[in-house]
Structure 1
Amino acid sequence: MVAFQAKAGTDEKNKIAGTWEYSAPTAPYPYTSGRIVLKEAESGLAGELVVEGNRLPASSVAFENNELVMEIEIEYNLVTVKFKLVDGSLVGEANSPDGPVEVKASKVE
């Protein structure tokens, strides 16, 4: 049973690990589009936001029950992004200092 639970956790990470192309049309420039890179790490998942070649590491990444939550410092503000995995796409929102921003992402790798 323990092996099954460990495998289930790995399967969950495999669903989400990879590179995702995101779109956030109402976000401030240059954050309207870019990539989210998620990788397996010893402590679970690690991630970063890649915008115009700049890499912004996530301070925390959690994926459970098809929900992804990331925290990223953007221009000195801690932004929490919450997604649901729906039909192979990530759909959610970020809590920007200017209010909620809708974000969608599709896996590219």
Structure 2
Amino acid sequence: MRNFAKLFYACIFFVSGSMSLLAENPTNSTFCSFNPTTALEKVYKSPIGTWEYTVEDVPYEYSAGVLIITKEKEEYKVVVKVNYNTLTASEVKVNENTVNFSVYIEGGKVQVSLQVKDDLIQGTADSTEGSFSLKGKKK
């Protein structure tokens, strides 16, 4: 029991000594290198989330919808909710602030390319019917 007490006090001594070093030199923290500003910037600029979007010059039932972008492990997934349907996108590729994917609407393939800037998205949806402008906002 005596040895346990000595070990306990030695640990307390080393921990308290390390804490005083951290107070003197906070830039070399070994306990926590978390920067909340950097973390918020990553979340704010991330394409992950729920996006409400509109598309110009398309039939009314396809002119607005919701994109849900998620990431599981290292793989991104996109779900499109439009015209009372939920569609799962394929060929999803995310590179920094660019999101590309394909989705089938009424049997036709639509390729979507989006740019993410802060809480806004903007891009195009290309189909056999033509190219359409798409824009939206993070929900």
TM-score (norm. length: structure 1): 0.79
Count how many residue pairs are aligned between Structure 1 and Structure 2. 97
Higher share of residues assigned helix: 2
Alignment of 1:1-80 (within 5 A): 11=42, 15-80=46-111
- Identify unmatched segments of 5+ residues in structure 1: 1-10
Q: Secondary structure of the residue that 2:109 maps to in structure 1?
A: strand
Higher radius of gyration, 1 or 2? 2
Deviations 1:24-54 (A, max 9, x none): 0212231100100111124510011101331
Indicate the residue corresponding to 1:100 in structure 2.
Answer: 131
CA contact (8 A) 1:37 1:49 kept: yes
| Greater strand content | 1
Aligned-residue offset at 1:19? 0.7
Higher RCO (CA < 8 A, seq sep 6+): 1
| Percent identity for Structure 1 against Structure 2 | 28
CA distance in 2, matches of 1:46, 1:60: 9
Q: Which ranges of 4 or more aligned residues in structure 1 deviate by more than 4 Å?
A: none
- Post-superposition offset of 1:96: 1.9
TM superposition shift of 1:85: 1.2
Distance 2:111 2:65 in 1: 16
Task: Please give the alpha-carbon distance, in whole angstroms, between the structure 1 residues aligned to 2:109 and 2:74.
Answer: 21
Q: TM-score, normalised by structure 2?
A: 0.64
